[in-house]
Homo-oligomer: A and B are copies of this chain.
Amino acid sequence: MAAVSIRGLGEVPLIARLARRLGGAGKGRGVLAGIGDDAAVLRSSGGAPLLLACDMLVEGVHFTRRLPARWIGWKALAVNLSDIAAMAGTPRWAVVSLGLPPSTPVRFVDGLYDGLGACARRFATAIVGGDTVRAPQVVVDVAILGTAGPRGPVLRRGARPGDALFVTGRLGGSLASGRHARFTPRVREAQALAARLPVHAMMDLSDGLASDLWQLARASRAALRVEAARLPVSRAGKTVYHALMDGEDFELLFAVPAWAAARVPTRLGACPVTRIGEVRARGARVELQTRHGRIQTLIPSGFRHF
């Protein structure tokens, strides 16, 4: 019998398996939230809880060298900032592990660091260390450390029946338009929302709205319904289908109680904020109300990692 490969397993079951496999090693003193949210929430001695996350970009999978090195560097940090934004936190420090083929032009590495540096300065995050190793292709892995906001971190698991669902920005076509590497992580938008509203749950959109709605539904054990007519489709995304299925939007998906829905601004600076649906009941499920009023169960079929 052939050995089972992870291709046959899929990412969500793989991560669940790894978390089970770690057992007690996945928990520990000071762990307020661990595997399964955008960032881990950790209780250090005194002060705000810490937020810790990491994201790996691999050449040929997440980017090619046709993308300018500067944007690869920007993206490598920005995807991590997006994880901190998803918790309504403040990014503080990052470390960068860089795998490089020996043949890599110095100019490419310079460009990559210029992009990392530009993104770091823009979001007041210090790059404080890292590791540089040989690899068959370029691999950039950033780990980020931040702090939770004054109202504490916003987790994925807090959505409740009756909540209204919102997204920032416009969805779809991120890979086609190049936005996936040049996007602005919603750090300030998330902080502004959490400061003025009781945000029950929040996450960033990385695998595609349909897939990420399922993540929120599972974490909150809640049935979500979104309306096709309300989805903010980006110009590059063109259709509701792409707004639902395309990955790497790096916008925010969040839930607020119904009474607060009217207080959610329609814009935060230049960033639109759109009500897309609601939380209807207990039990993980995701439904789409079509433009013709039909209710369809959405399949979590966004970006497949394996």
Q: Which residues of A contact B (CB under 8 A)?
A: 3-9, 11, 14-15, 17-18, 21-31, 34-37, 39-40, 42, 44-48, 50, 52-58, 60-62, 92-93, 95-100, 102-107, 109-110, 113-114, 116-118, 120-121, 124-137, 139, 141, 143, 145, 147, 305-306
**Which of B3, B11, B46, B105 makes the CB contact (< 8 A) with A47?**
B46
Known: A21-B117, A121-B24. A305 touches B40 (CB 8 A): no
Task: Say yes or no: A58 contacts B99, CB within 8 Å.
Answer: yes
**Which of B39, B44, B93, B113 makes the CB contact (< 8 A) with A40?**
B93
Known: A127-B22, A139-B99. A132 touches B11 (CB 8 A): yes
Task: Say yes or no: A109 contacts B58, CB within 8 Å.
Answer: no
CA distance A110 to B18 in the complex (A): 7
Known: A52-B95, A109-B6, A126-B27. A136 touches B47 (CB 8 A): no
Instruction: Specify which chain B residues have a CB less than 8 angstroms from the CB of A36 in the assembled complex.
Output: 129
User: What secondary structure prevails in chain A residues at the interface with B?
Assistant: mixed
**Which of B21, B131, B137 makes the CB contact (< 8 A) with A113?**
B21
**Which of B6, B47, B54, B98 makes the CB contact (< 8 A) with A129?**
B54
Task: Say yes or no: B35 contacts A130, CB within 8 Å.
Answer: yes
CA distance A169 to B154 in the complex (A): 46
Q: A22-B116, A54-B129, A139-B139 are in contact. List 18 more A-B contacts (CB 8 A).
A: A3-B107, A5-B105, A5-B106, A6-B105, A14-B109, A18-B109, A18-B132, A35-B130, A42-B93, A42-B145, A44-B44, A54-B95, A54-B97, A55-B97, A56-B98, A97-B141, A134-B306, A136-B137
Task: Say yes or no: A131 contacts B27, CB within 8 Å.
Answer: no
Task: Say yes or no: B117 contacts A22, CB within 8 Å.
Answer: yes
- Of A5, A22, A56, A113, the most chain B CB neighbours within 10 A belong to A56
Across the interface, name the chain B residue whose C-beta is closest to A23. B117
CA distance A129 to B223 in the complex (A): 25
Nearest Cβ on chain B to A219's Cβ, whole angstroms: 14
Instruction: Specify which chain B residues have a CB less than 8 angstroms from the CB of A121 in the assembled complex.
Output: 24-25
Instruction: Specify which chain B residues have a CB less than 8 angstroms from the CB of A3 in the assembled complex.
Output: 105-107
Nearest Cβ on chain B to A21's Cβ, whole angstroms: 4
Task: Say yes or no: B305 contacts A28, CB within 8 Å.
Answer: no
Instruction: Specify which chain B residues have a CB less than 8 angstroms from the CB of A47 in the assembled complex.
Output: 44-47
Known: A42-B93, A106-B9, A306-B102. A127 touches B25 (CB 8 A): yes
Nearest Cβ on chain B to A200's Cβ, whole angstroms: 21
CA distance A55 to B95 in the complex (A): 10
Task: Say yes or no: A54 contacts B132, CB within 8 Å.
Answer: no
CA distance A11 to B132 in the complex (A): 8
**Which of B4, B124, B135, B139 makes the CB contact (< 8 A) with A105?**
B4
Task: Say yes or no: B305 contacts A132, CB within 8 Å.
Answer: yes
Across the interface, name the chain B residue whose C-beta is closest to A7. B102
Instruction: Specify which chain B residues have a CB less than 8 angstroms from the CB of A40 in the assembled complex.
Output: 93, 95, 128-129
Nearest Cβ on chain B to A28's Cβ, whole angstroms: 3
